[in-house]
Amino acid sequence: MEMIRRFDAETFARGLADWAWLIGDRDLRPIAASMFGDVFLQGPDGVWFLDSLEGTLTLEWPDAEALQGALNTPEGQDQYLLGGIAIGAQQRGVVPGPSQVLMFSVHPALGGEITSGNVEAMDYVVASSICGQLRRQLKDLPPGSPITEISLKK
């Protein structure tokens, strides 16, 4: 199973629109996505990682070569690609199509388990939009706060 997803610039732009609150005015260009829709972004200062599970954007590598080196290790595959969970999903018959990524059916921020049994295939743009909107609404809540409502827009 290929753990990296590549989309055209327009698809990435649409998928990242609901992450504008986090990306801000940084000069970042998407270079690839993980099977779970996390995005690796090239900036003038290195490669950034948009973690859709945690709702964070961090500068992780000085260049694309260092990123590739990290992803070539079992630890990097688990940390940045959720490789074990993706393989488990594949074994269950959940295999994303060319425009899809894997997404947790119930997002872990809402109490879903981080297991292959809580995974489905979804269009990248839709999955990224849902995660971006969800994380924006939850970003200022203290840990453990009860979540009584979320809203998503088209």
Residue 140's pLDDT is 86
Whole-angstrom distance, CA of residue 35 vs CA of residue 33: 7
| Neighbour-count burial for 14-29, b at 16+ CB within 10 Å, e otherwise | ebbebbeebbeeeebe
| 10-residue mean pLDDT series, the chain (154 residues) | 94 98 97 97 98 97 97 95 96 96 95 96 98 93 80 80
Residue 145's pLDDT is 80
Residue 57's pLDDT is 98
Angle at 128 between CA 8 and CA 54, to 5 degrees: 125
DSSP state of 143: T
124: enclosing H helix or E strand? helix 124-138
Domain ranges of the chain: 4-138
Task: Tell me how far the alpha carbon of residue 90 is from its chain's centroid.
Answer: 18
Residue 154's pLDDT is 73
Residue 146's pLDDT is 80
Nearest to 81 by CA among 101, 98, 99, 100: 101
